[in-house]
């Protein structure tokens, strides 16, 4: 049996008919390598925005079910067009939406998780020599309800298909050249990583590198699907391979540096120092689906028998969190709630830092030498994060990138400007 390669192309890669023609060529190139090819595509460029705009014009709070019905059409347009483009080049191809294949999800709209993928139709069509083009981002429930997978959904579709088909590899084609040691828009001589572990990629993703959604990386890790992130527009570059840490030879302690400017710091002052107070506080936030990242509880002040509890959350959750905290502080008998959005979280990530105790102190020293004040610290086995002032973020990334010798000799050819709220 032939090897199966799953390829995924995002919205920018299929934004217009010329780009779709290019994607068709990339698909055929893989087919000509002697592999069976399954292609997952997203909706064309701004399709989703256009559909959402129409929905909002009709209903300020459209139902999640109907939004899924609406948005899932975008990928169906892409798969039909890409299939036509492949056929125009003389290759056999066939498109399927999630309902036709049986990409089964939970019965939840707008952010469903895939529970099973039927493979009979896929295998039959591969055996017949077809390139298969699948609609990403969408699924179907047992009852025939159309669902969507939420953020990073098409990546997740691709990885899940690769797992179901026991694919050789899942290639995520995107508008960047791969995973970099840090954002090349900040550090122009950032190096592209040839290889990185799932764990490091997850930490990099959580730390603010927007290449892949954590969910797709987690799925790849769970099913040990090798992932490759590479550019749609530069096929000579092999991008970055993401695999299990056991398959890697680790040379450097630190693989990458990332900065996350999307968080805000919240301090609940004067929380009475009695057992269960923190559990109450974070329990209430968890109930509303608010993820808390770094947490620091100060030593109890003996005089007042109170603590300050500081933590970070995503900016998007701030309004919801404020409402909850106003109630909780009364319940706890705590003092003021202070918000600070002038913060950045800078992280160094590397599977190689396990059992190398000097790394953390090198990080702290480097920040100190640069005159950067550290406000909070959190660590995991393969990551050290420091919360600093927002205006220091760029300086911190550059200094850390240099001290851990991550730069390459070439200047990365990176297009685009920095969006607001990124470094």
Cα 205–chain centre separation: 5
**In angstroms, what is the minimal distance from the CB of 46 to a second copy?**
14
DSSP, res 146: E
Q: What is the largest CA-CA distance in the chain?
A: 81
**In angstroms, what is the minimal distance from the CB of 39 to a second copy?**
14
Which C-beta is closer to a second copy: that of 108 or that of 360? Answer: 108
Segments in 318-420 forming alpha helices (H): 318-332, 358-369, 393-403
> 111 pairs with which residues across the strands?
none
Which C-beta is closer to a second copy: that of 94 or that of 269? Answer: 94
Which C-beta is closer to a second copy: that of 84 or that of 284? Answer: 84
**In angstroms, what is the minimal distance from the CB of 60 to a second copy?**
7
For a second copy, the binding residues (CB under 8 A) are 17, 20-21, 51, 54-55, 57-60, 62-63, 65-67, 69-70, 72-73, 76-77, 79-81, 83-85, 87-88, 94-95, 97, 99-100, 121, 144-146
Candidates 212, 73, 76, 80; CA nearest to 155 is: 212
**In angstroms, what is the minimal distance from the CB of 8 to a second copy?**
19
Which C-beta is closer to a second copy: that of 23 or that of 159? Answer: 23
Which C-beta is closer to a second copy: that of 81 or that of 165? Answer: 81
Q: What span, in angstroms and rounded, lies between the C-alpha atoms of 147 and 370?
A: 49
**In angstroms, what is the minimal distance from the CB of 343 to a second copy?**
38
DSSP annotation string for 275-317: TTHHHHHHHHHHHTT--EEEEEEPPPBTTTTEEEEEEEEEGGG
Q: What span, in angstroms and rounded, lies between the C-alpha atoms of 25 and 27?
A: 5
Specify whether the CB–CB gap between 8 and 158 falls below 8 A. Answer: yes
Which C-beta is closer to a second copy: that of 139 or that of 208? Answer: 139
DSSP annotation string for 251-264: --S--EEEEE-SEE
Q: Are strands 376-380 and 383-389 parallel, antiparallel or unpaired?
A: antiparallel
**In angstroms, what is the minimal distance from the CB of 38 to a second copy?**
16
Which C-beta is closer to a second copy: that of 42 or that of 182? Answer: 42
**In angstroms, what is the minimal distance from the CB of 127 to a second copy?**
16
């Amino acid at each position: 049996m032939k090897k199966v390669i799953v390829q995924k192309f995002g919205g920018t890669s299929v934004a217009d008919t010329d780009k779709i023609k290019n994607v068709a060529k990339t698909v055929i190139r893989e087919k000509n390598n002697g592999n069976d090819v399954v292609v997952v595509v997203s909706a064309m460029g701004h399709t989703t925005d256009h559909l959402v705009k129409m929905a909002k014009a009709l209903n300020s709070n459209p139902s999640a079910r109907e939004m899924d019905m609406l948005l899932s059409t975008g990928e169906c347009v892409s798969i039909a067009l890409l299939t036509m483009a492949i056929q125009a080049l003389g290759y056999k191809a066939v498109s399927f939406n999630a309902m036709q294949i049986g990409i089964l999800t939970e019965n939840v709209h707008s952010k469903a998780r895939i529970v099973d993928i039927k493979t009979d139709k896929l295998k039959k069509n591969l055996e017949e020599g077809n390139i298969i083009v699948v609609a990403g981002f969408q699924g179907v429930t047992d009852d025939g309800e159309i669902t969507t997978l939420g953020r990073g959904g098409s990546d997740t579709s691709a990885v899940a298909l690769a797992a179901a088909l026991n694919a050789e590899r899942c290639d995520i084609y995107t508008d960047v050249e791969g995973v970099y040691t840090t954002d090349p828009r900040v550090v122009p001589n950032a190096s592209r990583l040839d290889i990185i572990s799932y764990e490091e990629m997850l930490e990099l993703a959580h730390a603010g590198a927007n290449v892949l959604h954590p969910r797709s990386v987690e799925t790849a890790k769970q099913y040990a699907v090798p992932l490759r992130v590479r550019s749609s527009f530069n096929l000579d570059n092999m991008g970055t391979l993401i695999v299990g840490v056991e398959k890697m030879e680790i040379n450097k302690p630190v693989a990458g540096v990332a900065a996350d400017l999307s968080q805000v710091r919240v301090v609940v002052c004067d929380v009475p120092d009695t057992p269960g107070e923190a559990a109450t506080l974070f329990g209430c936030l968890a109930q509303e689906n608010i993820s808390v990242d770094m947490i620091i509880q100060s030593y109890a002040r003996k005089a007042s028998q109170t603590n300050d509890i500081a933590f970070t959350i995503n900016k998007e959750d701030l309004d919801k969190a404020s409402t909850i905290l106003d109630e909780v502080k009364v319940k706890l008998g705590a003092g003021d709630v202070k918000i600070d959005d002038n913060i950045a979280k800078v992280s160094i990530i590397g599977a190689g830092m396990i059992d190398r105790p000097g790394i953390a102190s090198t990080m702290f020293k480097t920040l100190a030498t640069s005159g950067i004040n550290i406000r909070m610290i959190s660590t995991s086995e393969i990551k050290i994060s420091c919360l600093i002032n927002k205006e220091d973020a760029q300086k911190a990334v550059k200094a850390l990138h240099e001290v851990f010798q991550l730069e390459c000799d070439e200047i990365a050819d990176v297009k685009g400007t920095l969006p607001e709220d990124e470094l």
